[in-house]
Structure 1
Amino acid sequence: MEINRNETQLVCIANFTAKEGEVDQLIQNLHKLIPLTLQEGGCIRYELNQAVDEPNKITFIEKWYDQETFDAHCNKPYILDFFNDGNPHHVKEFEVRLHKELLP
């Protein structure tokens, strides 16, 4: 997929708060998603971050070619498995917000 860097892309900020004592397992489970996601054609950026002042707060910062490629990502079996199987065991709460990049 040809990505035009001068076009607005879709940005996803996915914030997770790990349950007490579950942050390492949550990070391990989220790390498993990275190589699979980076192979998706519409994925431009997919990075995992941990808050310095609150280590139980984990954030994915993602950039997608468009809404269609993001929606396809959300329906991949490994993403559905995480939210259906891994998420309830290790995540206290989460929020996924979509943003539109604002170019000058």
Structure 2
Amino acid sequence: MSIEITVVFDVVPDRMDSVTAAFQELCDASREEEGALRFDAFRSEEHRDVVVLVEDWADQEAIDLHMKEPYVADFLARTEGSFVRPPYVHRLRALGA
């Protein structure tokens, strides 16, 4: 069974343009990883300063390798100070699983 993760980011309003560009580059690179089944970023329609990252990974090893990629460190550096609070990370499990 794959590992599904959703991460909610509250973006500082005047940084949305730069954050959007950083997310797009992160998504493009992450989708090329062997264990990445899905890696998409969305902007909330209800909350204009919220970005939601939706990920699906083959296994924990794929996640661990992803977190060591240079472009992940680059994303974190580029977006430092761009979030109102730490992101909410949700590892998801199907009901009844």
TM-score by length of 2: 0.87
For structure 1, list consecutive stretches of 5 or more residues without a partner in the other structure: 1-7
The answer for the alignment partner of 1:95 in structure 2 is 88
The answer for the alignment partner of 2:78 in structure 1 is 86
- What code does the residue aligned with 2:88 have? E
Please identify the structure whose Cα radius of gyration is greater. 1
Residue among 57, 67, 70 paired with 1:64: 57
C-alpha displacement at 1:28, in angstroms? 0.9
For structure 2, list consecutive stretches of 5 or more residues without a partner in the other structure: none
Q: CA-atom RMSD, angstroms? A: 1.8
The answer for the alignment partner of 1:27 in structure 2 is 20
1:19-63 per-residue CA deviation (whole Å, 9 max, x = no partner) reads: 121112111110011121111000001111111111110011000
Give the whole-Å Cα distance in 1 for the aligned partners of 2:59 and 2:94: 11
C-alpha displacement at 1:99, in angstroms? 2.3
Percent of residue pairs identical: 20
Residue among 25, 33, 39 paired with 1:40: 33
Give the whole-Å Cα distance in 2 for the aligned partners of 1:96 and 1:75: 18
The answer for the alignment partner of 1:9 in structure 2 is 2
Aligned residues: 96
TM-score by length of 1: 0.82
Give the whole-Å Cα distance in 1 for the aligned partners of 2:70 and 2:94: 27
| Structure 1, 86-95 or 47-56: larger mean CA deviation | 86-95
